[in-house]
Copies of this chain bind each other. A is one copy, B any other.
């Protein structure tokens, strides 16, 4: 797609500085922009590139205008305008309704005629699929799954029996929704499986990453509210409840029966223990671990970043002596009273 800069200003609501007639046909990175491209700067440390980029137009804040003589879209939030421009220049493919002859669909499934079902998709009895929803090859929808409108399942996604997915939601390849939760009780001489009787309810405008797993509830359901964004290889345990607009980065892992509030930001690789409650607006630094409920919004952390291995060996030896070191300080204090 090609747009004039003035058309982009109009469609994104950004201000216009300089010629609106410039033709823009692709987005680029500020360090690599070429003719016909548009770039953005939101971080002051990149403003220096505004002088050297070959991009035809830029997206910047009002403040940066003085460092720039290019045609510009002016906005308080360059990243948002850039995303809108990128989407205008690269519109999502229209969903062409189709049912592959190589899909396997139960007779009583209710597939909207505007949906697209690709090869080797298996849809079991009682499933319903809303308008404009698109299933890539290899997806498996077990009995009584319900999927809303304009939702996209990429290849090889599995949705377990009775689980529901809302509208405008995206599940990336290999995601597994509705496997059994991990529940066992020791009974005399072996573990007995605790029946996992709940399901998973995923809201609208959710995104779920590749190979992420979301377990069904034991009693009652696992719930992912509207607008939640989950990255790849994340684990959500049984009966977890994730509040609206919370984001969870790659490889984070949430044990069972955890309640996470709204607008939280869970960093990559974060671990949260069983039965905890995290209030709204909590930020957890990547790779940190949560062992107690968090009742106050704010940022939390406890990760030790790497140092040279030789140096770490000395620190580690001291960590193991910490209790003794503290006692030696106390002894010194007694002597120095």
**Interface set of A (CB-CB < 8 Å, partner B):** 27-29, 32, 77, 79-80, 82-84, 86-87, 90, 100, 102, 104, 118-120, 122, 136-138, 140, 142, 154-156, 158, 160, 170, 172-174, 176, 179-180, 182, 184-187, 190-195, 197, 205, 207, 209-211, 213, 215, 219-220, 227, 229, 231-233, 235, 237, 245, 247, 249-251, 253, 255, 268-269, 271, 273, 283-292, 294, 298-323, 325-326, 328-329, 332-333, 335-336
The reply to whether B250 and A253 form a contact with Cβ atoms under 8 Å apart is yes
Q: Give Cα A203 to B245, complex, Å.
A: 37
The reply to whether B325 and A306 form a contact with Cβ atoms under 8 Å apart is no
* Known pairs A193-B207, A237-B250; A309 contacts B300 (CB<8 A): yes
A sample of 7 more A-B contacts (CB under 8 A), given A83-B185, A302-B304, is: A102-B104, A102-B122, A154-B160, A182-B231, A311-B323, A319-B319, A322-B322
Q: Give Cα A4 to B304, complex, Å.
A: 54
The reply to whether B326 and A332 form a contact with Cβ atoms under 8 Å apart is no
The reply to whether A174 and B304 form a contact with Cβ atoms under 8 Å apart is no
The reply to whether B304 and A220 form a contact with Cβ atoms under 8 Å apart is no
Q: Give Cα A185 to B80, complex, Å.
A: 6
Which residues of the other chain, B, contact A288 by a CB distance below 8 angstroms? 306
* Known pairs A209-B182, A289-B286; A233 contacts B253 (CB<8 A): yes
The reply to whether A176 and B172 form a contact with Cβ atoms under 8 Å apart is yes
Q: Give Cα A318 to B318, complex, Å.
A: 11
The reply to whether A232 and B315 form a contact with Cβ atoms under 8 Å apart is no
CB distance from A294 to the nearest CB of B (A): 8
Q: Give Cα A259 to B111, complex, Å.
A: 45
Contact among B207, B211, B255, B300 with A307 in the assembled complex (CB-CB below 8 Å):
B300
Contact among B158, B209, B287 with A173 in the assembled complex (CB-CB below 8 Å):
B158
Which residues of the other chain, B, contact A176 by a CB distance below 8 angstroms? 156, 172-174, 210-211, 232
Q: Give Cα A83 to B197, complex, Å.
A: 11
Contact among B155, B247, B255, B298 with A250 in the assembled complex (CB-CB below 8 Å):
B255
CB distance from A215 to the nearest CB of B (A): 7
Interface centre among A231, A310, A335 (most CB of B within 10 A): A231
The reply to whether A182 and B250 form a contact with Cβ atoms under 8 Å apart is yes
The reply to whether A323 and B318 form a contact with Cβ atoms under 8 Å apart is yes
